[in-house]
Structure 1
């Protein structure tokens, strides 16, 4: 199923992003696997809850795969049009989803996590939207983050691009709670089992109610607006510096 492992444990499905050598970055295989897995969760009446996590101890998902980054505004528009449906897919799934964040959740990985209904964070987890370091801004997070942490903090996170730890993520309301790293999946399963034991129609209606109004015009705006940043020299410098592992010199 793409670069994603799908495991059914009774009434719970565990979806594991499975490219640890690339820090589970959002490759084509990861994208396809996430979409297919969530469709499978939605279609299977026996599955009540889904868990998303990452393979390995370093990363839940490190964000975009820079090696396949678009080079022109036209390519950027196609890229964001392909990626945004993946990042918002957890919101559109009728069933509750838990992100078990086992390591870094940066950029698109952070966005995939906040699109889930709950985040349980390993004590080793780190969260951030570092796109500003490439001369860019987050796409999906720009539409959602201020509703979670408030506008000033969302601006700070987006404009500075500095990561926060798991405890700060809980304080800001991004993550539900932190757990010991080695017990993360067990804790996520225990939480999922509790949810699975509740009246499933009421749970699904609660998700639908709280998520009402998401999507729509703001998504189309993100697809249309994001590519314009790729016309700037700062993006070329930011991407080149990232690949060369040096500090960018923005003009």
Structure 2
């Protein structure tokens, strides 16, 4: 994870493009520590999260590291939910600049931010259903943005949507040309940073009031259960073996 400060703006860059910036242990640690560092820096007013390389913002979980043991799976998911919700819990505003695919956990990380700017090439999806699983953070947040029916459709089909559709659904604040993504994100961050610091932080706190709680716990408890089912093992193995899954048809 690269951490850079430009004036009053901290920029966190997911920096494993060879893995499509998947949520490896290093990137998860970098997200958590980077947002904490920005919150503790009195000079920083706004944080931007983006991805290295032009293909992906973040492709989601590092599926090859999944552990089917229920206890280990629950511990992993608790850690993952803490990371994915970190932008929401951060004291200062967070802008996500999505420069390519934002799938699974990558999409959920963006959902937890205060604003999403998307490059024209951006794509969003919660494809966990194709692995016999369900999204975690998105299952408790997506319907508040796109409505229950659309959230069910996205979660049950797992198909990606483009940047313009994401904008129409209210997921994305702005769609910008690829080459302007970071500069436009910085410009927005600078405008926010020019506003009264305490009022901005309180606005974020007030709008986010009531988030968390039982729905988070339900998501955390549901993930290990699904992971123990044969469909999840088949879906994950098929993904790793680059073949179509053969789910139980009973």
- What TM-score, normalized by structure 1, do the two folds share? 0.97
1:57 aligns with 2:54: yes
Q: What pairs with 1:83-162 in structure 2 (closer than 5 Å)?
A: 83-162=80-159
Aligned to 2:14: 17
Task: Give secondary structure in 2 for the equivalent of 1:162.
Answer: coil
Aligned equivalents of 1:153, 1:80: Cα separation in 2: 25
Residue 217 in 1 paired to residue 228 in 2?
no
Q: Which residue in 2 is equivalent to 1:164?
A: 161
Cross-structure match for 1:229: 226
The secondary structure found in structure 2 opposite 1:127 is strand
C-alpha separation in 1, matches of 2:46 and 2:34: 12
Shift of 1:218: 1.8
Q: Hey, what's the Cα distance between the residues in 1 that align with 2:52 and 2:169?
A: 26
* Cα displacement string for residues 52-109 of structure 1 (whole angstroms, at most 9, x for unaligned residues): 0000001000000011112222221111011110000001101111000000000000
Q: After TM superposition, which residue ranges in structure 1, 4 or more long, deviate above 6 angstroms? A: none
| 1:137 partner SS | coil
How far off its partner does 1:217 sit? Answer: 2.0
Aligned partners of 1:218 and 1:158: how far apart in 2?
A: 16
Q: Which residue does 2:202 correspond to in 1? A: 205
SS at match of 1:8: strand
Per-residue CA distance 1:30-65 (angstroms, 9 max, x = gap):
011001100011001110000000000010000000
Q: CA deviation at 1:240?
A: 0.8
* TM-score (normalised: structure 2): 0.98
Q: Distance in 2 between matches of 1:246 and 1:207?
A: 44
Task: Report the aligned-residue RMSD.
Answer: 0.7
Count, aligned residues: 248
Q: What's the offset of the Cα at 1:223? A: 1.5
Q: Residue 70 of structure 1 aligns with which residue?
A: 67
Distance across 2 between alignment mates of 1:231 and 1:108: 20
Structure 2 runs not aligned, ≥5 long:
none
In 2, the alpha carbon distance for the partners of 1:70 and 1:171 equals: 37
